[in-house]
Amino acid sequence: MKVQGDNFEERSEAGPAILNAIKHAANNEKIGEYQGFDVKVLDHGPQAGYELLVENTATGQRYSGGLNVMYADMTGPGAIVRLDNIIKKVPQRLEDSRKQLKESEKNLETYKGLEAKPFEYEKQLDSAEKELDRISKKLQGQKVEGNESDNYVPEPEPEEIEPEYHYSARGEEIKAEDEVAAVKAEVVTSKRKL
């Protein structure tokens, strides 16, 4: 293991050096090399702690353990164990990525087939877009030419309901025609007084 330019054969010697490097490193700074990978540290602050990364120098691919370590919980031996665990998972991650790539390539073929098919709702979409444009113009106060929408459903006119019966204060039934005549006479009388 190499930490800040110094080579270490023993984990016991490398532990304090890597802990010191982690605590004093700038964010995303390379602090050493381990098993062919560059070792970097991300400092997410006191609330989230440190995150160790290994980076493949040939591809630039980065791998993380996925868990941050709080400042007080970080130890030299613990950091080395975390790096070992990250590196042990690289082959599995590579295999998972290959499977995901195959699945994505299969999906791509399916999508290409769908892309070649004509859109079955093209006419309805065009009609709806034209209707939306027409309504938008109308809402903005612009004059709109053309027929009513194909989507327009007129509301039924409310029926004018004539009252069938009325009662006077004395409980007598009053005919609608008599009531209308009485109101008209009252209006004429009030106009004369003015």
pLDDT greater than 70 at residue 167: no
Residue-range domain boundaries for the chain: 2-88, 91-138
Q: What is the DSSP string of 80-116?
A: HHHHHHHHHTHHHHHHHHHHHHHHHHHHHHHHHHHHH
pLDDT greater than 80 at residue 6: yes
- Distance CA(76)–CA(148), nearest Å, equals 76
Q: What's the pLDDT tens digit per position in 68-112?
A: 888 888 888 998 999 999 999 999 989 999 999 999 999 998 898
* C-beta separation of 49 from 64 below 8 A: no
Higher pLDDT, 190 or 169: 190
Q: What's the pLDDT tens digit per position in 58-72?
A: 888 999 887 788 888
pLDDT greater than 90 at residue 191: no
